[in-house]
Structure 1
Amino acid sequence: MRYHIGDLDQQKLLDLYTGMLKPRMIEEKMLILLRQGKVSKWFSGIGQEAISVGVTQALKEDEYILPMHRNLGVFTSRNIPLNRLFAQWQGKQSGFTNGRDRSFHFGTQEYKIVGMISHLGPQLGVADGIALADMLRRKKRVTAVFTGEGATSEGDFHEALNVASVWNLPVLFCIENNGYGLSTPTNEQYNCENLADRAKGYGMESRIIDGNNILEVYAKVDELCKAIRKRPRPILLEFKTFRMRGHEEASGTKYVPEKLMKEWEKKDPIANYEAFLLENGSLSEENIEQLKGSISDEIDENLKLAFDEPSISFNETKELGDIYQPFDYQETKPKEETKNIRFVDAISEGLEQSMYRHNELILMGQDIADYGGVFKITEGFVPKFGRSRVRNTPICESVIVSAAMGLSINGMKAVVEMQFADFVSTGFNPIVNYLAKSHYRWNEKADVVIRMPCGAGVGAGPFHSQTNEAWFTKTPGLKVVYPAFPADAKGLLNTAINDPNPVLFFEHKGLYRSVYGEVPSDYYTLPFGKANWVRKGEAISVVTYGAGVHWAIEVLEKHPEIDADLLDLRTLQPLDFDAVKTSLKKTGKLIILQEDTLFGGIASDISAMVMEECFEYLDAPVKRIGSLETPVPFAKELEANYLPKKRFEAALLELYTY
């Protein structure tokens, strides 16, 4: 292996050596502890230390880095206290996830590290968002994100590269090509000679670097970082290396040809670099022994701290309390001036006023800039706020949701418009696995609102008509809002943007231009978790939300003899179940209406909760009404009978006379 010192001084040469030796020695200790059953799992980076250490030392301390599970050298190079790392791997309190996640599945703002999730791909988009925030603030910083060659087959990889290239984001995409995705060799994963060649398709620069040569890694990454800080742009790096141990220790390496293993053993990054330093006089055998002794003592001392720490204890209140970032809701009351506007105008007005209120609120979505979005919610926003804040995106929901998370991590707010709520399925993973879980896992907020134009009744067919709120009410960590009236839509949207937690904000497109209401002209907020009594009665409780509220009003007006309590939930997570109980205790009869198909929906949960907590107040069985258990049909007659309006009327009359 050939080393070129260039202009590196003696101290830097030794720092790079120490930087690699420390994670290697920690790993060797962890493998012993794994065999002793003192740690539960280990993903080895032995043989790949030069990449983690070289990249991290080339970055500045205030630049974010997004590692994976073979990048121990990233964490040690950022000087994270070893006792905290050891506690993390043992599920102890002083780790970074309160025992809620393992390995390197964590982040820490203190050390500007954002750890992976097991789905791999989303962190690439998160890096885009972090870099976007730096670029918008004109901070000359680089974001580095790691992935393996296996994960380059995921769609998120391609989406992230495309967005970074289109937006000229200062991201270093670092591929650790170590030969195997678990047991699958590279020739079964992709059919190009070099992964770096993929950059051409995205109009990006790329480099191929010997990932086992620490001086080459450091020198080239340092050079590229300096260039990117001067002229922001993404660069794809492919580090050629090899994984000397199994995907994780339990999987072994029997699938690796012995000859190949021996070839790479000769390329060990630490042994070769050590020999080079000994040869040129930068290091002596005595130095090595002293250094190893010092590191060994540090490991033992910090292991003792971690082992001596008591096992974490379960506290139900704490567990439930850490699902969401605390949000101190501040009510902003409107002035008396109102105007009669459409639902769609109320959404637009709330969004615009929030943009003025939050200077670092970024809007992202397909066609939302000059075109104003398919429903014209953001029409006229570009002249007011500029293209940097009102951003057209490529058609890549997954990476845009991830980028929104990156903006949040770097201190900004984001609102993402799904062109139609149906399309959220292609961005589902980062919503339910990244945004929803980040605060619980490592105390990181996800200050993101996902706007969801939804609902049937407009002849749009199976892929533009779903009301899919139940996909998200099931997921702890998400908030779900679903207004029925213009004034509620505006006030709740403002609150959603203020809230540092991820909010799915459902807007029924059938209401956009058909429902008018008196809406305060200035900025105001409304609280989450507070249902609205649309009308009050004594005979029967009707609980619904969204378009269901208007269907219920129409049916009740047709039957004035039914003295009904009509409750509009407005938010589904948090849910105002107290209001449901209050109404039921008064009337004794309950019917729950939802537009979504019936099975597994919000009506089922409310019904079950009522049966558990309010059974003695019931004078009749709880009725649940929803759409047919089919996709949403296109033809007018089919769609009309798919929707539950007619069935609601029949069930209401039946329950009334029970």
Structure 2
Amino acid sequence: MQFDRKGLSDEDLLRFYLAILKPRMIEEKMLVLLRQGRISKWFSGIGQEAISVGAALALQPDEWVMPLHRNLGIFTTRGMPLHKLFQQWQGQKEGYSKGRERSFHFGSGEHHICGMISHLGPQLSIADGVALAHKLRREDKVSLSFTGDGGTSEGDFHEALNVSAVWDLPVIFIIENNGYGLSTPVSEQYRCESLVQRAKGYGMEGVCIDGNNLLTVYDTIKGVREYCIREQKPYLIECMTFRMRGHEEASGTKYVPPELFVQWAEKDPVKKFEEWLLLEGVLTYSHMEQVKASMKAEIESELVRAELGGPIVPVTTEELEDVYAPVPEVGTDKDIETVRQFSTSRPIRFIDAIKEGLKSGMEEHSNLVLMGQDIADYGGAFKITEGFVELFGKERVRNTPLCESAILGAALGLSLEGFKSMVEMQFADFVSVGLNQIVNNLAKIHYRWGQHADVVVRLPTGAGVGAGPFHSQSNEAWFVHTPGLKIVYPSTPEDAKGLLLASLADPNPVLFFEHKALYRSISGEVPEAYYTIPIGKARIVQEGSDLSIITYGAAVHWAKEYADQHPELSIDIVDLRSLLPLDYDAIRASVTRTGKVIVLHEDTLTGGIGGEISAWIGEHCFELLDAPVLRCASLDTPVPFNLELEKNFLAKSRLATTVDRLLRY
């Protein structure tokens, strides 16, 4: 192994030596703790330290890194307190995730490290979003994301590289090619000669290097960083390396030919760098022993300090409170009741209220970026953002490739750097392609390590327009089950604008469902001024005493239409407006008024939110009921294309019979 110092001083080289030695010595201690049962799991990076350490040394301390399992050198080189890292690995309350996450699934905004999730690939596009933030601010910074040879087979890898290339983002992607994805060799993972060849396919430069040579890694990333900033382009680096232990300790290494360990032991990144420093006279044997003794003492001391904390005592209220980031108070001058008194209102369509809400949001939040397919010059599939490019420019109104997962990941990356973002799905059905980013990255990140995800996802939803199975689904129930998300579903123009503005102001991930059939069929009075409507607060459409219909979205209008056609019935109608969180007080109040309840929704019956609401009423309002809670929902089939079949599918066609059935009790 040849080392080229390229102008690095002896002091620099000794600093590099301390940086690469530290993760190795920590790991050796961790393996002892694992055998003693003092930690539960460990993913070893022994043999790969040069990549993490070289990357951290080459970047500025305030440039974000998205590490994976074997990147301990990122954490140590960034100077994270060792006792707190030990507390994290031991699952203590004082760790970075309050005992909620495992070894390397945590981050720290202070150290510009974004915690990984087990799915690996989604990390890459977060780096896109961070780099976009730097680009928007004209900052000379990069972001860097790691993946493994196995991770390059994931769709997120391809999406992230494509978005970075199309948007000319200063991102460094590093592939740690250690020959195995758990036990699967690269011969069963890809057929290209080397993974760096994929760079050309995305229109970016790339290089394959010796990932065990610390100075090569450092010099390469340092030069690539300068290139990315100068050219405002991404870059792919494939680092050839090997892990000397299993994927994690429990999995072992029986699947690896023994001769590979012999070959790679001769390329040990710590040992070879140490030997070279001794040969060059930069390091002496006595100094080396002093360094190791001092580092060992530090590790032992920090471990003792880490173990001073007691066992975790669960506090349920704290666990629930940490699911969401705190929402800043909205000034009373922006409250809807005040605005109604002092602002001019005029009748506009549902779709125009959405457009007006987005426009007001862009004016209110200079850090808000809109992203979606065809939303720029074309104005979006439904023309909601038509004219926005002229008002706000293409930097803030961004067309995206068909890369839903990568765009949602980029939205999270923007949030790391203090931006807000709105991602438009052309149709709610298409969100399934980005499901992982929403339910595992956006939803869980605040609970995991205190990082908010300031992202709104707009989802044109629902049937009634003859669009068939893949442009008509009501898929809100997919997400209501996911703690950390907020689910908003307005039914009127006034609510559409006010709830959208509240969603944009909220630092938590909000899924904003807009029923397509309401876009141009429903109009209502909407104040011209900026205002917000609280998320999680239902609207009482009308009060009644005979029966309650608890509903949301287009079904609110079905319920109102039925009530208008049956003036002999006193029908109480509750528009939930938000499905997560739910307004349980409004639900209880409606049950109290009538004692008979229908939960009406357009979504299919099985697994719909109607089941959750019915169960809650049964548990908490049983003594108020005069009949069982009935659900009125759409058929348990995909949404059919033919209009007559679609009418039969929709819950509206069964509302009358459901009411009759309830009244017979």
1:169 is paired with a residue of what secondary structure? coil
* 234-243 vs 224-233, greater mean Cα deviation: 224-233
Query: Which residue number corresponds to residue 531 of structure 2?
Result: 524
1:424 is paired with a residue of what secondary structure? helix
Q: Deviations over 1:82-123 (max 9, x none)?
A: 000000001112210000001110110111111210000111
Query: Which residue number corresponds to residue 350 of structure 1?
Result: 357
1:584-623 matches, within 5 Å, as 584-623=591-630
Query: Which residue number corresponds to residue 298 of structure 1?
Result: 298
Q: Deviations over 1:129-177 (max 9, x none)?
A: 0110011001100111111010000000000000000011111000000
Shift of 1:329: 3.6
* 313-322 vs 328-337, greater mean Cα deviation: 328-337
Query: Which residue number corresponds to residue 500 of structure 2?
Result: 493
Query: Which residue number corresponds to residue 556 of structure 2?
Result: 549
2:361 is paired with a residue of what secondary structure? helix
Query: Which residue number corresponds to residue 461 of structure 1?
Result: 468
1:327 aligns with 2:322: no
Question: Does the aligned pair in 2 maintain the 1:183–1:255 contact within 8 Å?
Answer: yes
Shift of 1:308: 2.1
Question: Does the aligned pair in 1 maintain the 2:343–2:529 contact within 8 Å?
Answer: no
Query: Which residue number corresponds to residue 44 of structure 2?
Result: 44
Query: Which residue number corresponds to residue 369 of structure 1?
Result: 376
Aligned equivalent of 1:625, options 627, 632, 635: 632
Aligned equivalent of 2:540, options 533, 539, 547: 533
* 330-339 vs 350-359, greater mean Cα deviation: 330-339
Query: Which residue number corresponds to residue 311 of structure 1?
Result: 311
Query: Which residue number corresponds to residue 648 of structure 1?
Result: 655
Shift of 1:393: 0.2
Q: Give the Cα separation in 1 of the matches to 2:186 and 2:344.
A: 65
Shift of 1:336: 3.0
Question: Does the aligned pair in 2 maintain the 1:20–1:53 contact within 8 Å?
Answer: yes
Query: Which residue number corresponds to residue 385 of structure 2?
Result: 378
2:307 is paired with a residue of what secondary structure? helix
Q: Deviations over 1:1-55 (max 9, x none)?
A: 1111111111111111111110000000000110111110100000111100001
Q: Deviations over 1:337-365 (max 9, x none)?
A: 11111000000000001101100100000
Q: Give the Cα separation in 2 of the matches to 1:620 and 1:214.
A: 73
Aligned AA (1:323): V
Query: Which residue number corresponds to residue 403 of structure 2?
Result: 396
1:37 is paired with a residue of what secondary structure? coil
Query: Which residue number corresponds to residue 27 of structure 1?
Result: 27
1:232 aligns with 2:237: no
2:517 is paired with a residue of what secondary structure? coil
Q: Give the Cα separation in 1 of the matches to 2:581 and 2:161.
A: 36
Question: Does the aligned pair in 2 maintain the 1:91–1:102 contact within 8 Å?
Answer: yes
1:202 aligns with 2:209: no
Aligned AA (2:431): V
Q: Which runs of 5+ in 2 are unaligned?
A: none
Aligned equivalent of 1:574, options 553, 577, 581: 581
Query: Which residue number corresponds to residue 169 of structure 1?
Result: 169
Question: Does the aligned pair in 2 maintain the 1:562–1:656 contact within 8 Å?
Answer: no
Aligned equivalent of 2:511, options 504, 507, 529: 504
Aligned AA (1:440): Y
Aligned AA (2:95): G
Q: Give the Cα separation in 1 of the matches to 2:239 and 2:347.
A: 61
Q: Give the Cα separation in 1 of the matches to 2:145 and 2:653.
A: 54
Query: Which residue number corresponds to residue 159 of structure 1?
Result: 159
Query: Which residue number corresponds to residue 636 of structure 1?
Result: 643
Query: Which residue number corresponds to residue 106 of structure 1?
Result: 106
2:119 is paired with a residue of what secondary structure? coil
Question: Does the aligned pair in 2 maintain the 1:22–1:76 contact within 8 Å?
Answer: yes
Query: Which residue number corresponds to residue 137 of structure 2?
Result: 137
Question: Does the aligned pair in 2 maintain the 1:329–1:527 contact within 8 Å?
Answer: no
Shift of 1:630: 0.3
Q: Give the Cα separation in 1 of the matches to 2:182 and 2:649.
A: 46
Aligned AA (2:191): N
1:54-73 matches, within 5 Å, as 54-73=54-73
Query: Which residue number corresponds to residue 437 of structure 1?
Result: 444
**When the two structures are aligned, how many residues end up with a matched partner?**
658
Question: Does the aligned pair in 2 maintain the 1:478–1:573 contact within 8 Å?
Answer: yes
TM-score (norm 1): 0.99
Aligned AA (1:32): V
Aligned equivalent of 1:359, options 352, 366, 370: 366
Question: Does the aligned pair in 1 maintain the 2:466–2:643 contact within 8 Å?
Answer: yes
1:209 is paired with a residue of what secondary structure? strand
Aligned AA (2:312): I
Q: Give the Cα separation in 2 of the matches to 1:380 and 1:313.
A: 55
Q: Deviations over 1:165-196 (max 9, x none)?
A: 00111110000000100000001000011100
Q: Give the Cα separation in 2 of the matches to 1:20 and 1:45.
A: 12
Aligned AA (2:650): L
Shift of 1:68: 0.6
- Superposed CA RMSD in Å reads 0.8
Shift of 1:557: 1.2
2:518 is paired with a residue of what secondary structure? coil
Aligned AA (1:247): H
Query: Which residue number corresponds to residue 96 of structure 1?
Result: 96
Query: Which residue number corresponds to residue 128 of structure 1?
Result: 128
1:424 aligns with 2:431: yes
Question: Does the aligned pair in 1 maintain the 2:127–2:413 contact within 8 Å?
Answer: yes
Q: Deviations over 1:250-284 (max 9, x none)?
A: 11111111111111110001111111111110000
Q: Deviations over 1:554-590 (max 9, x none)?
A: 1111111111111111111111111111111111111
Q: Deviations over 1:283-302 (max 9, x none)?
A: 00001100001100110001
1:114 is paired with a residue of what secondary structure? coil
Q: Give the Cα separation in 2 of the matches to 1:165 and 1:528.
A: 37
- Following TM superposition, the consecutive aligned residue runs of length 4 or more in structure 1 with deviations greater than 4 angstroms are none
Q: Deviations over 1:182-234 (max 9, x none)?
A: 00000100001110000000000001111011111111111121222223210
Aligned AA (1:210): D
Aligned AA (1:315): V
Query: Which residue number corresponds to residue 221 of structure 1?
Result: 221
Aligned AA (1:570): R
2:237 is paired with a residue of what secondary structure? strand
Aligned AA (1:487): E
Aligned AA (1:516): S
Q: Give the Cα separation in 2 of the matches to 1:580 and 1:624.
A: 14
1:308 is paired with a residue of what secondary structure? coil
Q: Give the Cα separation in 2 of the matches to 1:610 and 1:219.
A: 64
Q: Give the Cα separation in 1 of the matches to 2:261 and 2:229.
A: 39
Shift of 1:599: 1.2
Aligned equivalent of 1:476, options 483, 493, 507: 483
Shift of 1:654: 2.5
Q: Which runs of 5+ in 1 are unaligned?
A: none
TM-score (norm 2): 0.98
2:479 is paired with a residue of what secondary structure? helix
Shift of 1:653: 2.3
2:463 is paired with a residue of what secondary structure? coil
1:173 is paired with a residue of what secondary structure? strand
1:387 aligns with 2:389: no
Q: Deviations over 1:461-513 (max 9, x none)?
A: 00000011101110000000000000000000000000000000000000000
